[in-house]
A and B are shown apart, each in its own frame.
Chain A
Amino acid sequence: MLEKEGQIRIPSGCAISGFISRDGKRICGDRIVKSISYMHDRSNGLGGGFAGYGIYPEYKEQYAFHIFYDSNDARVETERFLDRHFDVVNLSRIPTRKHPNITNEPLIWRYFLTPLPTKLASSQLDEREFVAQCVININDRIHGSYVFSSGKNMGVFKAVGFPEDVGEFYRLDEYAGYAWTAHGRYPTNTPGWWGGAHPFALLDYTIVHNGEISSYDANRRYIEMYGYKCNLLTDTEVITYIFDFLNRKQKLSFEDIAKIIAAPFWTEIDSGKYSESEKKKLKYFRNVFSSLLVTGPFSIILGFDGGLMALNDRLKLRSMVAAEKDDMVYLASEECAIRAICPDADKVWSPRGGEPIIVTLNDK
């Protein structure tokens, strides 16, 4: 039997990459597969995944759920739940291509959903909160069922395998989106499983992550007080929920969220490099959201509706390179992953630790 996360320790790396067209041009998924493939040696074949934004224009008003099922029973039970809460506009298996390096796949299904108006009204929740709660309910209560993608006009594709193989398996060359992110996994401590591959997603928020969160349990205890359930057995999940909590619920900007999860050291805050009002704000955030400080090495790319954000831990214990070319912005663990798909970038730079790069569509 496959040992799951927490049952075995495997020492670790990881690769992340992403790009966005600020003009909203839709770019074929084979580009992100090519980019991440140049960082093959950062992964070990125990997880690869992608998030694409703008890939379902024909269903852009529906929530696209991508779900792994361990069994047909789990599917039947989940579909009963979906029918009670949503109008299922379309459902199908996600098209895949047989690949010699991708094995033991679960059942992989996709649903385009609209919340049932009566259910939504009686819940007294706003629509996104209603959907988020449904996702958490399925993942927490239905055994063998994992909703791994749940946003509008976007989708996550992930598996156990090297990312370039995962991209072929999911036929990403048949999708086009204005932004893509990718992850190659080299699991820290754990063996890797389909649900534990990155990106981690809730609604349109997706996270790809290279690193290891020392503060995981402190972050988890805090975020679970707000109804989130960290049950996917890996640390990255909690970062996704922190972004959802701070951006969607607390309505904080991504710039401010960076100041919370990668807060400057107290010595830096007092060093004289910040204005008085900025100092006050930084201290306020450190005090109010102290349990959401993410410590340990990390570099992440957040995908969200209309943009991407990259962030390093404040000590910059993981690498991150950014580049620009015309309306395109590229982000990756290594410059080679950018040069491979954009040999003539106008500008290439490394963001500082704790300094976010936030890129949004020009019309957003």
Chain B
Amino acid sequence: MVINAEEYDYYELNRIITGSDDTDIDVSGVMGQRYIGCGASNKSITVHGIPGNALGAYLDGSTITVYGNAQDAIGDTMNGGEIIVHGNCGDTTGYAMRSGKIYVKGNAGYRVGIHMKEYKELYPKIIIGGSVGDFLGEYQAGGIIVVLGIGCEASVPVGSFCGTGMHGGYIFIRGDEPPRGLPVQVCCETATDEDKKIIKEYVEEFCTHFGYDAKELLASRFFKLTPNTASPYKQLYTNN
């Protein structure tokens, strides 16, 4: 099914997408319509243009491919499936994500992976090709976040306050220096070859989507961040 989104607001557009019996849906002319593919199962949705906030919210097994930049809160509370963005995306990517995969070719904004979590076989993954803003993995409770820093000029491809409130999961950051000012409840160490096996599959898939060399990327230095269970979470917002 081919849809020209120019004539539709978010409500009508999503009614057409989720109401369609087709599995392959191509949407062009998107300009800010929110919630595209919200809760959708077993579909392959291609988006041309600028999808609005909460793209793929509650996504439940569909694949969404975006040819352009995405805005804030993609994959909000998504439950399964894949979101592949051939561009940048905004703040709170993978907000409270429960499972599935998000691949972003370029940069992402603040609070990537905020509050993502895992449970048994549900295991969310976010792979960002470029750099990210502050509060990466804020309150992260599970899953994996990988930041590859491709094309990043700064020495560290993540902003300040990385891992604030982190209490589960992994963050892998490619680079020669660890993030500065990590909170005491986060452990940071150079990833071993054994550690890299955790992310190998996802880095390879990233490279398949966007045409990079996985071997070369995986041969670089990565830092692995995990919660330090020995230290309780310290308040940020009161000691400002």
Contact = CB atoms under 8 A, between A and B. Distances in A.
A44 interface: no
A88 B133 CA distance: 52
Given A266-B240, A271-B180, A319-B72, A336 B52 contact: yes
Contact of B32 (A39, A265, A268, A271): A39
A316 B90 contact: no
Contact of A41 (B50, B52, B91, B159): B52
A352 B10 contact: no
B77 interface: no
A271 B50 CA distance: 37
Contacts of B49: 339
A350 B34 contact: no
Contact of A339 (B31, B53, B109): B31
B99 interface: no
Interface in B45-80: 49-50, 52-53, 69, 71-72
B133 A352 contact: yes
Interface in B200-229: none
Nearest to B52: A336
A265 B110 CA distance: 17
Nearest to B35: A41
B133 A350 contact: yes
A319 B90 contact: yes
B143 to A, nearest CB: 22
A336 B50 contact: yes
B19 interface: no
B239 to A, nearest CB: 8
Interface residues of B, number: 26
A353 B240 CA distance: 15
A316 to B, nearest CB: 5
A344 to B, nearest CB: 12
Contacts, number: 64
Contacts of B90: 319, 321, 335, 350
Contacts of B71: 319, 334-336
Interface string B143-159: 00000000000000001
A336 B181 contact: no
Q: Is the interface of A mostly helix, strand, loop or mixed?
A: loop
B104 to A, nearest CB: 13
A337 B32 contact: yes
A319 B72 CA distance: 8
A350 B52 contact: no
A18 B135 CA distance: 27
B69 A267 contact: no
Interface in A317-364: 319, 321, 334-337, 339-340, 348, 350, 352-353
Interface in A37-70: 38-41
A297 to B, nearest CB: 11
A271 B133 CA distance: 17
B67 to A, nearest CB: 13
A339 B50 CA distance: 8
Contacts of B9: 40-41
A41 B180 contact: no
Contacts of A38: 31-32
A334 B90 CA distance: 9
Contacts of B53: 334
B160 A268 contact: yes
A336 B240 contact: no
Nearest to A336: B32
Contacts of A353: 110, 133-134
Given A267-B239, A352-B134, 17 more contacts: A41-B34, A265-B240, A315-B135, A321-B90, A334-B72, A335-B50, A336-B31, A339-B50, A340-B31, A348-B69, A348-B88, A350-B91, A350-B133, A352-B133, A352-B159, A353-B110, A353-B133
12 contacts: A38-B32, A41-B10, A41-B34, A266-B240, A268-B160, A315-B135, A316-B134, A319-B71, A334-B71, A334-B72, A335-B90, A352-B134
Interface of B: 9-10, 31-32, 34, 49-50, 52-53, 69, 71-72, 88, 90-91, 109-110, 133-135, 159-160, 180-181, 239-240
